Amino acid sequence: MGHDVNEKLTGDFYTKHFAPALSEDGDTLILNIGPQHPATHGVLRVVVELDGEYIRKSEPVLGYIHRMHEQMGEVKTYPQYLPNMGRVDYLHALAWNWAYVGAVEKLMGITVPPRAEYIRVITCELNRISSHLLWWGAYLLDLGGFTPILYGFADRERILDILQIVTGSRLTYCYFRFGGVVTDVTDEFIALTRQFCRDFTQRLPMYRDLVTGNMILRGRCEDIGVLSPEMARRYGATGPVLRGSGVAYDVRRFEPYSVYDRLAFDIPTGQAGDAMDRYEVRMAEMAQSVRIIEQALEALPAGDVVSPDLPERVIPPKGEIYFAVEGARGKIGVYLLSDGTAKPYRLKLRSPSFSNLSLFAELAQGTLLADAISIMGSLDLVIPEIDR
């Protein structure tokens, strides 16, 4: 293998592999951020070459939380793989649930009852808000503001309570099933969701006053990590990272699945593509999610929550399928190749965080180390999703 490795250096393979291209003046420092670093929100390691406070070069090192989700797909039967999906991206578990069951349903030609479709939309959007709230708190924590996360969690806790009514769990949901969902929503669920939507709409201006206008935050975010639309496309960035750069791409609009084409919502975009734009896009998305939930609650039809003509054993016919949904971090895709047996032949997961992280190295080049932390936070990475 033609690995150009500098054997004189101490450190592991990645450091040595990173080192040969070091600048000649020898006045730089190699620094490991992570894998156990609070700013990486998980076990992500980033090797950076520092010139003073400035980053000359950086390289993310992956694999510290690799759990072989794709391989597990090949050794488990179709239903047995369901609990895995809540653990790929634990913050927006229902979107992954949806991507997987959606792929199997598409391959088998199962139609989901309308009530189940609306329940999926409501729960998935609630989950999106809870994911954004956690990102919001954690990002501000990275930037040195401790209190916002407590405000965010006060609202997030209410969403978790609501989702617990139907899913029974608070984080790693396993709620969607082939052809529908596990349990029907209760009147309590609907009442609490309506109440939450009303309260949260009033809380959003509070968030803006508390943090968004804050000069310190603006100083840490504006003109930091400016991502051009061209570069975002080059790396396959999706979700708020891409929309922050002004590209109004949303899977819910451009490849509509379920009942999203019947619901009205805007796609918030930014202009400059800096960290502040990504921040604003996510804040605006929460308001749009509330809008979607309110419409879906209005339109919620009666009926089954699981398809009545579901076969006893879920064995898709031979064939391949790709199904994508819009997660909180971007486009979640499941590619499924079935050979007609009880287990998938191949299951490929397309995770948005992987693409969003890939552009970090280029984005962080030449920035201050402290700004790189801000950039990383603004990408909203979920590390288990990167490693799959």
Q: Report the interface residues with another protein, using CB under 8 A.
A: 76, 79-84, 87, 147, 151, 154, 161, 164-170, 172, 174, 177, 182, 206, 209-211, 213-216, 218
C-alpha to C-alpha distance for 160 and 173, rounded to whole angstroms: 10
Nearer of residues 78 and 265 to another protein, judged by Cβ? 78
Are the C-beta atoms of residues 246 and 271 closer than 8 Å to each other? yes
Residue 240's φ and ψ, nearest 5 degrees, are -60, -25
Residue 206 CB, shortest distance to another protein, in Å, is 6
Nearer of residues 15 and 214 to another protein, judged by Cβ? 214
Nearer of residues 150 and 264 to another protein, judged by Cβ? 150
Nearer of residues 81 and 260 to another protein, judged by Cβ? 81
Residue 178 CB, shortest distance to another protein, in Å, is 11
Nearer of residues 291 and 343 to another protein, judged by Cβ? 343
Residue 166 CB, shortest distance to another protein, in Å, is 8
DSSP-based three-state secondary structure for 331: strand
Nearer of residues 31 and 154 to another protein, judged by Cβ? 154
Question: In this structure, which amino acid lies at residue 148?
Answer: P
Residue 168 CB, shortest distance to another protein, in Å, is 3
Residue 216 CB, shortest distance to another protein, in Å, is 8
Residue 134 CB, shortest distance to another protein, in Å, is 17
DSSP-based three-state secondary structure for 61: strand
Residue 52 class from Cβ within 10 Å (0-12 exposed, 13-18 middle, 19+ buried)? exposed
Residue 130 CB, shortest distance to another protein, in Å, is 15
- Token look-up 């693409």 returns 355
Nearer of residues 208 and 318 to another protein, judged by Cβ? 208
C-alpha to C-alpha distance for 301 and 355, rounded to whole angstroms: 37
- Return the half-sphere exposure (C-beta side, CA atoms, 13 A cut-off) of residue 94: 27
Q: Which residues of 214-253 are buried (b: 16+ CB within 10 A; e: fewer)?
A: beebeebbeebbbbebeebeebbbbbbbbbbbbbebbbbe
C-alpha to C-alpha distance for 8 and 87, rounded to whole angstroms: 40
